[in-house]
Amino acid sequence: MITSAPPDRILDTAFRLFYARGIRAVGVDLIIAESGVAKATFYKHFPAKDELVLAYLEKVDGIWTDQLRAAAEAGGPDPAGQLIGLFDALGTACRRDGYRGCAFINAAAEAVPGTAVHERTVAHKQAVLTWLRDLTAQAGADDPDSLARSLALLLDGGLADGAIGADPEAPRAAQQAARTLITAALAHDHPPFNSHPTASAGAASAPPSLPSASA
């Protein structure tokens, strides 16, 4: 029995289809059919497809940001430990059935530069980079900007690799590379990081009802 409000049904359907098939491959008619709403109802809430795409990306942003921050916090109170710990979210994402990589990278590849959709993907990546930069500065890195950029590249690379090969070792390799970079960046005043409270990349939990979107 359908009980959720029409806008929620539309967005939940778009979330599932956009991530699994790609934004361009999914038409409005399919979303209307699978969400069980009338065409007039759809356009009442989302007058244009791009508005629905933006709502989808906003939802992905919230989920992935929460997962990253939860994994970082599980790494302990030390900002350096949090930088290593956040890579556990990568392992959790890459192990899920239906994983297709970073939803924002996928969306950016389909969007025209300068459009609202493309700008939203850039804004998400910039927000993650800013957060990483704050943590690297708190950890005491000599060059927090460079370290944050390197960690962001590792994170995105791990997300992309997980979509291609689904190798469970990829997130662990990304986390180990992050550990090496962080240890080197803090070598002047910080002991080496041999471990952190989570045992391996993949220990962070995530909302089970929305399993496949990562950014």
Domain boundaries, position 88:
55-185
Q: What is the CATH number of the domain that holds 43?
A: 1.10.10.60
Number of domains forming the structure of the chain: 2
Are 160 and 101 in a shared domain? Answer: yes
Are 65 and 160 in a shared domain? Answer: yes
Average pLDDT by consecutive 10-residue portion of the chain (215 residues)? 82 97 97 97 97 98 97 96 96 87 95 97 98 98 97 94 76 94 84 46 36 55
pTM above 0.75, yes or no: yes
CA distances from 44 to 6, 7, 37, 47, 182 (A): 10, 9, 11, 6, 49
Distance of CA 49 to the CA centre of its chain: 22
